[in-house]
Amino acid sequence: MSANIHYEVFLKKHQKSGWDLFRAVEDRAEAFELAKELRVGAEGSSVRISKESYDQTNEVFHSVSIFSEGPEKHKRKLREDNRMDPPCSSASDLYTLHARRTLGRALGPWLKRRQISVVELLHRPDLAEALAAGGFDRQHAIQKVAIAQAGSQECSVQHVVRRLTELADSATERLRKMDKTRTLPGFQKQGYAATYQAAQRHEEPAFALRHALAQALQPLNNWEDKFSFLAGCVSDALVEGKGCDASINMLDEFISETAALPHALDALVGGGNLGEKLNHITNILVGKASVESSVSANLLATAITSKRLPNTQSVLAARVFRELCGPRRLFPDDFDAEVILNRTLAARLTMVDQKLAPLDQLAEAFASRSARLLENEAIQTMLATCDKDASEEIRLLLQFEESIVGNHNKAKLASYLRAVVGAHKTRTWFAYGPDKPLSRIAKLAEAQRLVLNSGFNQGDKDELYTLLDRLCADVLSDINLWDKFEQQTNPPIEIAQSLMKICDGGIVTSGICSEDICVRVLKLLRSHQIKTALQNGDEKIVKTAREIGVMLERVKASVK
């Protein structure tokens, strides 16, 4: 099992409140420090820390409580005479959106095994009876809901269990009776548009239409086929046009509730890792068909281009944001692919309606994703591809800056860059590494220019700019490059011109190194040989001296 580990700090403010997730952090010591800070000045509160380990093989989180502090038991005094009914008091209440979501959470494992959604369960008597006959699954779900509701309403769990059981029995019986009357139209052979028109003649048209869709989904044994069928119904409704908006709203409800099931959406998009899944999900979200996606996914993407499925888009966007803000890496073994996909996802999500993907939420999500990429393990994995080439390490880190979001993340990346530039091995590589000395020095000058054009904050820019210049100066000192230049047998004017071209051509860093070259050039120009040639009016020397002067002025003007 390969696991990504983080720590979740929970806070319970007082005895009537529930446990709320305060913050998730990656460092164990930080989690303990945060928990202790929350307890300061809040004697009635409690805190606990859970260690969350993600099992990538089985795609599940393993949670272990490792710390708790505060009152051990927050018990509420229940009123013995409290017999309040649960929020759902009649069978029809189960069809509301809130009730369906509660049922989805409570019956999650059973629904997953049957490969159905809650809306199908509520409109198919065979499923309702199978659930009732199963006994354990339904009773376990009722108990989970009852415990939560009894706590919020301050009444006994037994009372809520009894009322919810009666409600479930009533809903099952109601569904059985409606099905036996045979007044429900069922799904019409002419297609979805005809089914919608037939349902309008029933006394409960919305229920009749949902029942027809649920019955039509019954023979489909996998999620891909169900998505294909529902997407096809959208096309049918758009072509027919009669009652288009109302009929598509119903399809949007079915598709969105199915897409809200993580295992159903995963089955639709496929993909061996999170990166591939998010790539396909965002394609569907923006209505883009792809040769890499399944036929069902492309059909749904085409249906979304109608701009009539807002709930489905909302569910897809919520899944994308949840995963982007989560702890899992998109491509755990491929850093470059993850960086590229981050850019792709950001570009796609900016195409989505801002109601679904607000800019501030986008910034927060990609700042969170950038933080995952800046973990020490990820950075070391990226640098390991450079094969100890210091110039490549610096280039990659500067290139990576364009792909991350958030001032805090950019400051963290700057710290990695400072460490690489200041390392002794980096100085050794630039002094004695492969290629010619000037080629190695030119890479430092290019890195300095990239720093100036980067998105680092000004303080980090100034520091990195200076560090690169100092590194360049140290390397030149180690190899005595300019002393070797001046010791050549060439005329002093040619040496001065060569040095100035190196400086003016941006081959050395700006700052200490460029100033050193300017000083050396001026010293050469004051030599007796050049002074004499200038006094004698040697045209070639005069012309060269003027060119050097122009380059000197240009270098001085460009100094930061």
Of the given ranges (21-25, 259-263, 282-286), which has the lowest mean pLDDT?
21-25
Q: What is the pLDDT of residue 185?
A: 86
Check: CB of residue 255 under 8 Å from CB of residue 309: yes
- 88 vs 114: CA distance, rounded Å: 25
Mean pLDDT of 134-155: 72
- 64 vs 51: CA distance, rounded Å: 5
Amino acid at 307: K
The model's confidence at residue 48, banded by pLDDT at 50, 70 and 90, is confident
214: its two tokens: 């649920």
- 277 vs 269: CA distance, rounded Å: 6
Q: Which of 276, 373, 329, 277 is nearest to 4 (CA)?
A: 329
Question: DSSP string of 90-121?
Answer: SGGGGGSHHHHHHHHHHTHHHHHHHT--HHHH
Q: Which residues contact 407 (CB under 8 A, 6 or more apart)?
A: 457
Whether residue 71 is predicted with pLDDT greater than 60 in this model: the reply is yes
Whether residue 84 is predicted with pLDDT greater than 80 in this model: the reply is no
258: its two tokens: 């199915």
Determine what percent of the chain is predicted with pLDDT higher than 90: 32
Check: CB of residue 467 under 8 Å from CB of residue 418: yes
Mean pLDDT of 225-246: 84
415: its two tokens: 């710290």
The model's confidence at residue 292, banded by pLDDT at 50, 70 and 90, is confident
The model's confidence at residue 378, banded by pLDDT at 50, 70 and 90, is confident
How far is Cα of residue 364 from the mean position of the Cα atoms in its chain?
A: 9
Mean pLDDT of 151-166: 72
Whether residue 3 is predicted with pLDDT greater than 80 in this model: the reply is no
| Integer angstrom CA distances of residue 278 from 49, 61, 258, 434, 464 | 30, 19, 17, 41, 35
**How confident is the prediction for the chain on average, in pLDDT?**
85
Whether residue 423 is predicted with pLDDT greater than 90 in this model: the reply is yes
524: its two tokens: 């050469």
Mean pLDDT of 431-449: 93
Q: What size, in residues, is the chain?
A: 560
Question: Which residue pairs from 482-490 have beta carbons closer than 8 angstroms and sit at least 24 positions apart in sequence?
Answer: 482/516, 482/517, 482/520, 486/520, 486/524
Mean pLDDT of 500-525: 91
Burial of residue 220 (number of CB atoms within 10 Å: 0-12, 13-18, 19+): middle
Amino acid at 482: W
Whether residue 460 is predicted with pLDDT greater than 90 in this model: the reply is yes
Residue 483, SS3 per DSSP: helix
- 419 vs 424: CA distance, rounded Å: 10
360: its two tokens: 């501030």
- 220 vs 268: CA distance, rounded Å: 14
Whether residue 520 is predicted with pLDDT greater than 70 in this model: the reply is yes
Q: In what order do the strands lie in the sheet with 20-25?
A: 20-25, 3-12, 46-55, 60-69
Q: Are strands 20-25 and 46-55 parallel, antiparallel or unpaired?
A: unpaired
Whether residue 6 is predicted with pLDDT greater than 90 in this model: the reply is no
Of the given ranges (69-78, 349-358, 457-466, 535-544), which has the lowest mean pLDDT?
69-78
Check: CB of residue 407 under 8 Å from CB of residue 451: no
How far is Cα of residue 445 from the mean position of the Cα atoms in its chain?
A: 34
Backbone angles phi, psi at 12, to 5 degrees: -120, 110
Q: What is the pLDDT of residue 1?
A: 36
Check: CB of residue 398 under 8 Å from CB of residue 450: yes
Whether residue 25 is predicted with pLDDT greater than 90 in this model: the reply is no
- 188 vs 515: CA distance, rounded Å: 85
Q: What is the pLDDT of residue 451?
A: 95
pLDDT single digits (tens) 189-233: 888 988 998 988 888 888 889 999 999 999 998 999 999 999 999
Mean pLDDT of 79-84: 51
Mean pLDDT of 16-22: 76
Mean pLDDT of 76-83: 49
Burial of residue 298 (number of CB atoms within 10 Å: 0-12, 13-18, 19+): buried
Q: Which residues contact 121 (CB under 8 A, 6 or more apart)?
A: 103, 107, 111, 127, 128, 131
